[in-house]
């Protein structure tokens, strides 16, 4: 494994344009903080399907395995929608999570002061909200046996939710550890009134709790959680949940609490020292691809998380986050974040602004 190697996977739709801006910002950080990172691009998703007939070519996977971090864009597009699941662009991301065994997906729902008016909830409900969602992403219904059968003119399809105890334990351990660095409150979200998988989750998480007695643990059904996230978001600190529930709740949290799915970054981590995965949580939004109107913030902030988690470059990571905040405070908005009175900028312009602010923040830090 090369110490400073980062693989970037632009993907499809708006992926390439948001990734280009994230790369610009990372390279700026690389220069000013002398990080020594080496960024290399590989092909995955629809682009790889077209070129090599598979969404995650083995050369791409190998390159990812040998890197410390992978920063991805978005995957998918209408041209591949009818493909069988192993030939769908999204499979690149799903296989990458599985192959790298990065089981803990971490998403922060922390409103930006400048975007409070964009989020649909009242400001007083949002001020002070700071939630981390720890989502299991290498198992569950995404990966269980699936099939489609036909008998006569009727079809039947199934997807299976399956969890092994060790898969629950390792991600729960991460969530407890994260809780210990924060307000020490962990909410485990499930559907234990109906699902056997959820009952196993409860058992494993309850047993593990003995090792983390300083953390307050509560269990909550996913339907209640979906409601509570909008009614009382301040009551949450760390949320631990399975693959599909985390997918849904994190979109809800980002759209309702932060104002858009376009600004939330994510980090997907395995064991210490393994390759980690970073990228935005939104989709490829193919309708606006190539028009330079996409919002690159989720991808840029994912780059910051990579500097923090993989390279332990806290200063550089925080500087990128400050640069994003500064640009938002100054009133610059991507089209999807526009509110009256703000200044609309394109994808590239947004990247340029953040890179410029980063440069001056880095300069100021050097003088102190
Ligand atoms: C996400 C995305 C993915 C998921 C898709 C692209 C497979 O929606 O990261 O939330 O469902 O995990
Ligand atoms: Mn999602």
Identify the sign of the CA torsion 38, 42, 107, 133: negative
Q: Tokens for 98?
A: 């599985």
For ligand 2, the distance from its centroid to the CA atom of residue 101, given in whole angstroms, is 18
- β-pairing, 185-190 vs 238-241, is parallel
Smallest CA separation from ligand 1 atom 1, residue: 281
- Burial tier of 16 (Cβ tally within 10 Å: 0-12, 13-18, 19+): buried
Partner residues linked to 136 by β-bridges? 104
Catalytic residue, chosen from 142, 143, 163, 212, is 142
Active site residue 191: yes
Catalytic residue, chosen from 146, 223, 234, 329, is 223
Third-level CATH fold of 1-103+260-368: Isopropylmalate Dehydrogenase (3.40.718)
The pLDDT value recorded for residue 77 is 97
Mutate to test the pocket of ligand 1, among 44, 74, 89, 90 (most ligand atoms within 8 A of CB): 90
Smallest CA separation from ligand 1 atom 7, residue: 90
**Ligand 1, pocket residues at CB < 6 Å:** 90, 93-94, 247, 281
The pLDDT value recorded for residue 2 is 73
Third-level CATH fold of 120-258: Isopropylmalate Dehydrogenase (3.40.718)
Smallest CA separation from ligand 1 atom 4, residue: 247
The pLDDT tens digits of the residues spanning 176-202 come to: 999 999 999 999 999 999 999 999 999
Active site residue 251: yes
Contact by Cβ (8 Å): 225, 187: yes
Give domain limits for the chain. Answer: 1-103+260-368, 120-258
For ligand 2, the distance from its centroid to the CA atom of residue 130, given in whole angstroms, is 19
Other beta carbons less than 10 A from residue 148's beta carbon: 10
One fold for both 1-103+260-368 and 120-258?
yes
The pLDDT value recorded for residue 121 is 95
For ligand 1, the distance from its centroid to the CA atom of residue 368, given in whole angstroms, is 41
Q: Which atom of ligand 1 is nearest to the CA of 279?
A: 9
For ligand 1, the distance from its centroid to the CA atom of residue 247, given in whole angstroms, is 6
* CA–CA dist 239, 261 (Å, integer): 18
Residues with Cβ < 8 Å from 260, sequence gap 6 or more?
115, 118, 254, 295, 336, 337
Q: Tokens for 362?
A: 């880095």
User: What residues in the chain have per-residue pLDDT under 70?
Assistant: 1
- β-pairing, 265-269 vs 276-280, is antiparallel
Contact by Cβ (8 Å): 266, 282: no
From residue 238, give the alpha-carbon distance in Å to each of 51, 97, 169, 314. Answer: 41, 22, 16, 21
With CA atoms as reference, report the closest residue to 323 among 279, 353, 364.
Answer: 353
Backbone angles phi, psi at 278, to 5 degrees: -140, 145
The pLDDT value recorded for residue 1 is 67
């Amino acid at each position: 494994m090369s110490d400073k190697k980062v693989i970037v996977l632009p993907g499809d739709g708006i992926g390439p344009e948001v990734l280009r801006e994230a790369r610009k910002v990372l390279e700026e950080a690389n220069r000013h903080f002398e990080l020594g990172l080496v960024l290399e691009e590989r092909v995955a998703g629809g682009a790889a399907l077209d070129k090599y007939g598979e969404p995650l070519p083995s050369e791409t996977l190998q390159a990812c395995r040998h890197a410390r971090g992978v920063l991805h864009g978005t995957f998918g597009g209408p041209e591949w929608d009818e493909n069988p699941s192993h030939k769908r662009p999204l499979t690149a991301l799903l296989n990458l999570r599985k192959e790298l065994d990065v089981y803990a997906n971490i998403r922060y729902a922390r409103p930006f002061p400048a975007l409070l008016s964009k989020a649909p909830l009242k400001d007083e409900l949002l001020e002070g909200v700071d939630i981390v969602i720890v989502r299991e992403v290498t198992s569950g219904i995404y990966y269980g046996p699936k099939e489609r059968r036909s008998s006569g003119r009727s079809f039947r399809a199934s997807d299976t939710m399956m969890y092994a105890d060790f898969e629950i334990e390792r991600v729960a351990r991460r969530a407890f550890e994260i809780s210990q660095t924060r307000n020490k409150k962990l909410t485990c979200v499930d559907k234990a009134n109906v699902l056997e998988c959820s009952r196993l989750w409860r058992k494993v998480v309850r047993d593990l709790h003995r090792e983390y007695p300083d953390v307050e643990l509560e269990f909550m059904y996913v339907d209640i959680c979906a409601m509570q996230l909008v009614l009382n978001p301040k009551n949450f600190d760390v949320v631990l949940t399975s693959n599909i529930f985390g997918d849904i709740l994190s979109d809800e949290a980002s759209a309702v609490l932060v104002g858009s799915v376009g600004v939330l970054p994510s980090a997907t981590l395995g064991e210490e020292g393994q390759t980690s995965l970073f990228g935005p949580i939104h989709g490829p939004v193919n309708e606006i691809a190539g028009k330079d109107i996409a919002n690159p913030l989720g991808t840029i902030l994912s780059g910051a998380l990579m500097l923090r988690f993989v390279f332990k470059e806290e200063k550089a990571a925080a500087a990128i986050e400050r640069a994003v905040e500064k640009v938002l405070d100054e009133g610059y908005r991507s089209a999807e974040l526009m509110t009256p009175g703000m200044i609309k900028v394109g994808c590239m312009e947004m990247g340029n602004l953040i890179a410029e602010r980063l440069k001056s923040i880095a300069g100021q830090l050097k003088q102190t």
